[in-house]
Amino acid sequence: MSVSAMRRVVVPRRASVSRVLPNYQGMAAPTTRKAAASTVDVFLSHRGVDTKSTVAGLLYDRLAQMGVRPFLDSRSMEPGDKIYERVDAGIRQSRVGVAIFSPRYCDSVFCLHELAMMVEADKKLIPIFYDVKPAELAIGAAVSSAAESPEDLARYARAIREAKLTVGLTFDSKKGDWADLVSRTSNVVLKCLKQAKDGGLQIGVALEF
């Protein structure tokens, strides 16, 4: 999406919130809060009630172990932080966004705000379809009633449409291999970061677990 689309980002006020980090490949993660807040490689967008204790947390740990600076709300924020300010800054600083779509992802204004920001900022988007099919993604009724304006809903709809048109990883939590999902997703993130660093072309991901 063009830069002009980013001129006005409407921040929804009524979002339910249930809601370290380095140069990848070997450089040490910053230890001070100031350093930790300064740079993000990959932003992890997820619905906490569905995935915080599973794929989101596991992926954060794996990426951090590999020397990548991930942003995950529950790990990257501290008491006193302004939620939207920190989240929006994390998205702006990141090069890659991982959107973990789960059954209740699109029922959250907060999640759809993150997704819209990543799309509007033209971040490399890696979707993970966790127990949900791309065709099933749609703005939930709770979001429709909580959105501040028709403009918000239009932003969310555009972002969902973009995600549906982006090849992603699919995962069945009842039959899938968790270790394989986390490993392959981490490798895809590293490849995307390397391409972003080298100025290379974007890649497509077509994996199923």
Q: Which residues are annotated as catalytic?
A: 114
CA dihedral 185, 136, 46, 61 (to 10 degrees): -20
Secondary structure (DSSP) of 82-97 = -HHHHHHHHHHH-SEE
CB 16 within 8 A of CB 109: yes
Task: Give the residue from 59, 150, 159, 61 showing the smallest Cα distance to 119.
Answer: 159
